[in-house]
Structure 1
Amino acid sequence: MAYETVLYDVADGIATVTLNRPDKLNAWTRLMQGDVKDAMLRAAADESVRAIVLTGAGRGFCAGADMEVLTAASTGAGGPVSGAVPRPAVDPTAAVNARADFRMTHSYFPAIPKPIVAAVNGPCAGLGLVIALYCDMRFAGQSAMFTTSFAQRGLIAEHGLSWLLPKLIGVPHAADLLYSARKVRAPEALQLGLVQRLFPDQELLAQTRAYLKTIVEDVSPRSVAIMKRQIWEAQFQTLSEATVIANHEMEQSFGTADFKEGVAHFLEKRKARFTGR
């Protein structure tokens, strides 16, 4: 299936979703919103896919909402940027009973039962930053630049950013980035914890794929899917609640093919052959 605003590719168990409006620094539109969601759900439903990369074409990740859309909104001539374009897609997140928090406009990324890594190349601003932060991890090129930008447009912390950003970097740092809308270069982003890896620009995608290759080849996709759900849902749980859930999931794991394979490949000193079952 071809998309108008994103590229979709699967190789070696990794789906790559590329925002593809390079002439506009991949500025976000309603159509892109629909394309990205459909691509993510497609990757989630594909059993051959075990990890997902989200990146941008050209010299930027995503410059935020398209200024033409914002201009129309400021004059009352257009609807909100968040208006989604419906697409026919089966939502596999329903099968894992994703909580309502992870079924909103952009917050569905945590309900995708596969790891999502944002490979941030160049500018990552406004809504583009929101999208990157909903990924499980962020790897950045040396020239990457981050900014919330909302205060400079007379806007606010949208799509749950006021909940998400303080959890990732702490309240004072989140306040700094939101109130000032200042630009954060890649080295500072690494120091703050906005990103987890920093690579030369020309190596970013290859290094991101190399990291995900270890997840594809060496670990149980069932384990990863459940741990991803545990990590995100634990943000709403007490320690005792998280422990009870973990104990139940551990009991369930003992009866799976992946558990048996996990023990067997260790004892037999061979490469694992996990099936996700």
Structure 2
Amino acid sequence: MDLKHPADPKQVELPSSYSDLPFEQIRIFNVPESAKEVTPVVVLQLYRPNNYNAFTDKLMRELETAYEMFDLDGRVKVVVMTGYGKMFCAGADLDIGFSRGLEHTKDNRDGGGRVSLGIHRCRKPTIAAIHGSAVGVGITMSLPQTIRVAYEKAKIGFVFARRGLVMEACSSFFLPKLIGMGRALHLVTTGSVYEAKNPLFNGLFSELLPSPEAVLPRALEIANEIANNTSTVSTNLMRELMYRGPSSAEETHLLDSEVIGNLFGGADNTEGVKSFKEKRPAKFSANMVDDPPQAYPWWYATRTDSRPHVKGKNPKPRL
């Protein structure tokens, strides 16, 4: 099996409107909400109003489905995730409990990890607007997102050691990269809950806001700035270079050179330069589905599943 080009990718049918999809534990809104067509910025709201948006298998499946669509949908430029009510996400739903994984097998897949990988594989900028408490998987599913903004007094906790569990949702990969090994070890070893403004979280949140009500509007300001002024191809490739880059400066230089060389003279590079000279907003049109650079992907990833493509649209062959 060619891991770089897995056979028979799943086909995804994109909706005319995300608000019409039969989701039960998430809701998706245009920005502005009154818009009838899918807008460049969309808001995904965790929606379990009677359970503090606690994580379930159904929530996992709906999030996986939504981020697959966002990844493939050229209409969507930025995704903002928030939660309904006072909490962002209370973590796993303890009323449902945990099911024991399959023993002595690689077949067991952590649900939080499936969501984190879905967000990580989404080639659009993603923003977590954490307006209230986020513990366990409630915070770990924010780690693969591009940007996190939070209410400064939101309660944040990596509480796994206090539940007899270990880090999940790929958080042992993301957390040390975002805040450093020392702070990550402190947080998971104590399992304590702290306010978002605690210095232990330095580097995790790019902005802290003074009230819960300020978080989503600020996240939307950032999302609109990104959607209106940046190339989706550029932002995705820079994130991939950071997470999937080589281990030395010399190897990084060779990869940088190849990737940027692929972009020179392309549609977005031409538009970026032209719009700057003409002192007008850029209208970037390229996307990672139809216009990936020749160097992409430059890594051989462990296969968890194949990347889907839009139903009825054959993906471009890759060398």
TM superposition score normalised by structure 2: 0.74
Q: Which residue of 2 aligns with 1:125?
A: 135
Does the alignment pair 1:269 with 2:250?
A: no
User: Which runs of structure 2 are paired with 1:102-121 in the superposition (5 Å)?
Assistant: 106-121=116-131
Structure 1 SS opposite 2:189: helix
Does the alignment pair 1:203 with 2:190?
A: no
Corresponding residue to 1:27 among 26, 51, 54: 54
Structure 2 SS opposite 1:132: coil
CA distance in 1, matches of 2:250, 2:78: 30
CA distance in 2, matches of 1:47, 1:190: 38
* 5+ long unaligned stretches in structure 2: 1-20, 32-38, 102-107, 292-319
Corresponding residue to 2:68 among 41, 45, 56: 41
Over aligned residue pairs, what C-alpha RMSD do you find? 2.2
- Tell me the CA shift for residue 273 of structure 1: 1.4
Does the alignment pair 1:54 with 2:81?
A: yes
Corresponding residue to 2:270 among 260, 263, 274: 260
Amino acid at match of 1:244: L
- Tell me the CA shift for residue 70 of structure 1: 2.0
CA distance in 2, matches of 1:33, 1:191: 26
- The size of the alignment, in residue pairs, is 253
- Tell me the CA shift for residue 144 of structure 1: 1.4
Deviations 1:193-233 (A, max 9, x none): 22111122112111101111111111112211211221221
CA distance in 2, matches of 1:160, 1:61: 19
Amino acid at match of 1:225: N
User: Which runs of structure 2 are paired with 1:1-277 in the superposition (5 Å)?
Assistant: 1-11=21-31, 12-70=39-97, 82=110, 106-188=116-198, 192-199=202-209, 200-234=211-245, 237-276=247-286
Which structure has the higher relative contact order (CA within 8 Å, separation 6+)? 2
CA distance in 1, matches of 2:40, 2:281: 16
CA distance in 2, matches of 1:222, 1:266: 18
The answer to whether the Cα contact below 8 Å between 1:110 and 1:228 also exists between their aligned partners in 2 is no
CA distance in 1, matches of 2:115, 2:80: 19
Which has the larger helix fraction?
1
- Tell me the CA shift for residue 190 of structure 1: 8.2
* 5+ long unaligned stretches in structure 1: 75-79, 85-102
- Tell me the CA shift for residue 59 of structure 1: 0.8
- Tell me the CA shift for residue 191 of structure 1: 5.5
CA distance in 2, matches of 1:107, 1:191: 22
The answer to whether the Cα contact below 8 Å between 1:29 and 1:81 also exists between their aligned partners in 2 is no
Amino acid at match of 2:58: L
The answer to whether the Cα contact below 8 Å between 1:125 and 1:147 also exists between their aligned partners in 2 is yes
Runs of 4+ in 1 over 4 A off after TM superposition: 71-74
User: How many percent of aligned residue pairs carry the same amino acid?
Assistant: 28
Structure 1 SS opposite 2:244: helix
Residues 189-198 or 175-184, more deviating: 189-198
TM superposition score normalised by structure 1: 0.84
